[in-house]
Amino acid sequence: MDLFFFQLLALAGLAAGLFGFYRRYAETMRRALPADKSPLKGSPQRGVAYALTMGMLPWAKESTRIHLAAYLRGIGFHIGIFSTLGTMVVLPFWAEMPEDIATLMALVLGLGAIFGAAGGIMRLADQNLRALSTPDDHFAVWLVTVWMAVGAAATLNAALLASFYVLSAVTLVYAPMGKIRHCLYFFFSRVFFGRFFGRRAVLPHPESVR
């Protein structure tokens, strides 16, 4: 089958995924927030700005300070995901790319897949993570991990391009329906967190606390 068909399939998956995220966004925006009647002591805007910037650094959160290796693994995993999305877009023009760039992208995607597999194994091996994980959690991690691994291989072997496009379509269609949709809700949660504690002058942390 012509490779163009699989490229169209991936494009259709991207369109379906974006539409699904739009529906999630619109549904969330329609939900009314309860009125915050606490006295205004600080700036909600400063709280949101902090929550989306300095508040995301590893030393700003106890969970990441204590589990720095897991934090770095997650960062590497997500870098691999975004790099795989970029690779999917430029693969039709891959023949014009320098060989060094192809090798570098294969390395980034391959490392992302390794980090993803490590996270999946941790969910199975660690008693606490296993108890907290749902079937959707496991499926999402392994789907994205396999997607990155096949993407890494496809950058070096054109015979795997069709498989990569099929996996891209499946991943993108699934994204707004399953665990991957947290990439949208992450921003809602950080804004709510920043506004809530910014209003109470807890964020940014007062000088006396720092």
Structure confidence by residue, pLDDT tens digits, 96-138? 778 888 889 999 999 999 999 999 999 999 999 899 999 999 9
Select from 175, 121, 165, 111 the least CA-distant residue to 143. Answer: 175
How far is CA 106 from its chain centroid? 19
Residue 59 CA to residue 67 CA, distance in Å, equals 11
pLDDT of residue 79: 95
pLDDT tens digit sequence for 36-77: 888 999 999 999 999 999 988 888 877 777 888 888 999 999
Q: Per-domain residue ranges for the chain?
A: 69-196
Confidence of residue 1 (pLDDT cuts 50, 70, 90): low
Q: For residue 210, what pLDDT is reported?
A: 54
Q: Is 134 helix (H, G, I), strand (E, B) or coil?
A: coil
Strand (E) or helix (H) holding 13? helix 3-29
> Once rounded to an integer, what is the mean pLDDT over residues 179-200?
92
pLDDT of residue 4 exceeding 80: yes
Over range 16-39, report the average pLDDT: 91
Asked if the model's pLDDT at residue 207 lies above 80, the reply is: no
Q: Is the per-residue pLDDT at 209 higher than 60?
A: no
What percent of the chain is predicted at pLDDT more than 90? 68
- Choose between 33 and 75: higher pLDDT: 75
